[in-house]
Structures are given as C-alpha cells and as structure tokens.
C-alpha cells in the first residue's frame, strides 16, 4: 500500500512516515499544497493524509482540486483546528475522514486501516483503455483477454500512463516514477523511448495510436472517443 503524507511540520511528518514504514506501508511526503498536487497527479496512491494548514495551497484547496479531477483516492484530513465547521467543510468537499491534532499514532493507524479496507471494497484495481487491461493487484496485463508478458519496468511504464490517461506525462516524471532515485538524467530519455517502443510492439501499437507521443513533453494514453 502506498500512502502520501502531506504536512508542513517536519517533525510530525517524519513521525508519521516512520510509523507507517514500520507497518510496511510505502510512503511519499510533501510539505506544501502545490507539491502535494504534483505528486497526487503523477502517482497512484492508496491513501492521502492531508493537513489543512499548508503553504502555497491549503488542504481544502488541494482536496477540491483532486476531487474536481475525479481522483477518488481516500483522503484523511489532519488539522490543528477543532471547529466543527472545518470538519463539515472538509467532508463536504470530499474528505473521507478527519482527525484533529494532537492525535495518537495508534488512532491514526486505526483510521488508516479502516479507510484502506473501505477503499479496497470500492476502488477497482483494473486500469484499462480499449481492449488493454492492467490489474495493479495481480500485476497481470491482457490484450483482447489474452495475457501479455511485460518486464517489471514495462509494467510500471504502462501503469503510470494508464493511471494518468488523458493527461500528458513528461519523460522526467515517468523516469522519476519508474526508476526512482536510480535514474540517470543523461540516459533517461533514451531508456524511456526504448521501453515505449517495446511496449508498443507488445500491445500491437506500431502506429502509436494507443501510446501517443506529445512532442516536447512525453507521452499520453487517451480514452477512446
């Protein structure tokens, strides 16, 4: 399970990150609203922990923008405010739960487990376009209901494109997601182009109609009109 933690208090952010890592969750962090949106639009998360009081864009603004873009990831709001009006506002904007600071780490972990159980019941693990289907849970890919054999990197590239379908993704964002800190910026573009070429061959997309090139940016998968 991958969780995004958004808070501008470094000490609390690190405490939450360590607690989640001890529970075997994979975590990413952000310290302002704009960084939170960049991460949430670029990568698939199973849960977002979102503080209300953030620099650049507050948590309510982040929440509203995510929901307007049809991102249904469960969101747990954190705030130092205890007013019921703030809680109601967050829930009305699409938050799934609300926890006021200060809180115990045990309660936070319990809330996370409850939201992840609820999310598993409601959110499909299948990403698809046309007859191409990718199952993030079983890591299986099929084309016209026939299995495709992809390398782990090819799978990650395709997953990233499908998660962001209808949005152009840059080569840099793709490299950061697939290769993490291990990518070399000097060979990045060539590596990505090679993987895209292999993916197109395997899914029968020799004309680039499924994985489309966006000149000067990167690639995009669009839903069929």
DSSP for 58-104, written as a single string: -HHHHHHHHHHTT----EEEEES---HHHHHHHHHHT-SEEEESS--
Block means of pLDDT (10 residues each) for the chain, length 225 residues?
A: 93 94 90 95 90 93 92 88 69 85 86 78 70 85 93 88 83 76 70 91 90 91 73
Integer Cα distance of 30 and 53 in angstroms: 13
pLDDT for the residue numbered 122: 47
pLDDT for the residue numbered 208: 87
* CB atoms inside a 10 Å sphere around CB 149: 8
pLDDT for the residue numbered 182: 64
pLDDT for the residue numbered 107: 86
Write out the two tokens for 69: 């873009």
pLDDT for the residue numbered 103: 84
């Amino acid at each position: 399970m991958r969780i995004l933690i958004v808070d501008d208090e470094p000490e609390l952010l690190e405490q939450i990150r360590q607690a989640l890592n001890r529970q075997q969750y994979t975590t990413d962090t952000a310290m302002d609203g704009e960084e939170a949106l960049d991460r949430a639009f670029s990568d698939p998360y199973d849960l977002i922990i979102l503080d209300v009081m953030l620099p650049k864009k507050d948590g309510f603004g982040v929440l509203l923008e995510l929901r307007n873009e049809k991102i249904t990831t469960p969101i747990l709001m954190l705030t130092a405010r205890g007013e019921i009006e703030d809680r109601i506002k967050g829930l009305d904007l699409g938050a799934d739960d609300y926890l006021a600071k200060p809180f115990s780490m045990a309660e936070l972990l319990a809330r996370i487990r409850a939201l992840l159980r609820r999310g598993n019941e409601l959110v499909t693990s299948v990403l698809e376009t046309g007859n191409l289907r990718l199952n993030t849970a079983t890591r299986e890919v099929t084309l016209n209901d026939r299995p495709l054999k992809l390398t782990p990197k090819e799978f990650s590239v395709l997953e990233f494109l499908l998660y962001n379908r209808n949005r152009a993704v840059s080569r840099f964002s793709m490299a950061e997601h697939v290769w993490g800190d291990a990518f070399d910026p000097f060979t990045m573009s060539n590596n990505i182009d090679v993987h895209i070429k292999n993916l197109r061959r395997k899914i029968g997309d020799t004309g680039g109609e499924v994985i489309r090139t966006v000149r000067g940016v990167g690639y995009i998968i669009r839903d069929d009109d």
